[in-house]
Amino acid sequence: MTAYCLFQNLEITDMEKMQTYATTVEPITNAFGGKYVTKAGEVDVKEGDWAPTYPVIIKFPSLDAARIWYDSEEYAPLKALRESAGRFSAVIIEGNTE
């Protein structure tokens, strides 16, 4: 069953590091079956007080694939780079419509 990884960039404190992350992460993500659905598109909040500033959604073929990618040795240095560049929230959500 499909899964989605949702990142919310809460605060970027080092734009240079974040740009390095952004230009190098996609090939590793793709190697684990991940495909970017959106990177910081326009947001139109309809309910609640959620205020995303730069949401990123990545689609994976399964919950296990998303978890394997997130915990992988290949992604670990990029995850550390991203974490050193600001504050973020992330969730992995299993799709249940397919």
Residues 16-75 pLDDT 10s: 999 999 999 999 999 999 999 998 878 888 899 887 778 899 999 999 999 999 999 999
pLDDT of residue 83: 95
Report d(CA 84, CA 97) in Å as an integer: 35
The sheet that has 55-60: what strands, in order across it? 35-39, 55-60, 3-12, 86-94
pLDDT at residue 89 greater than cutoff 60: yes
Report d(CA 48, CA 60) in Å as an integer: 27
Note whether 56 and 41 are within 8 A (CB). Answer: no
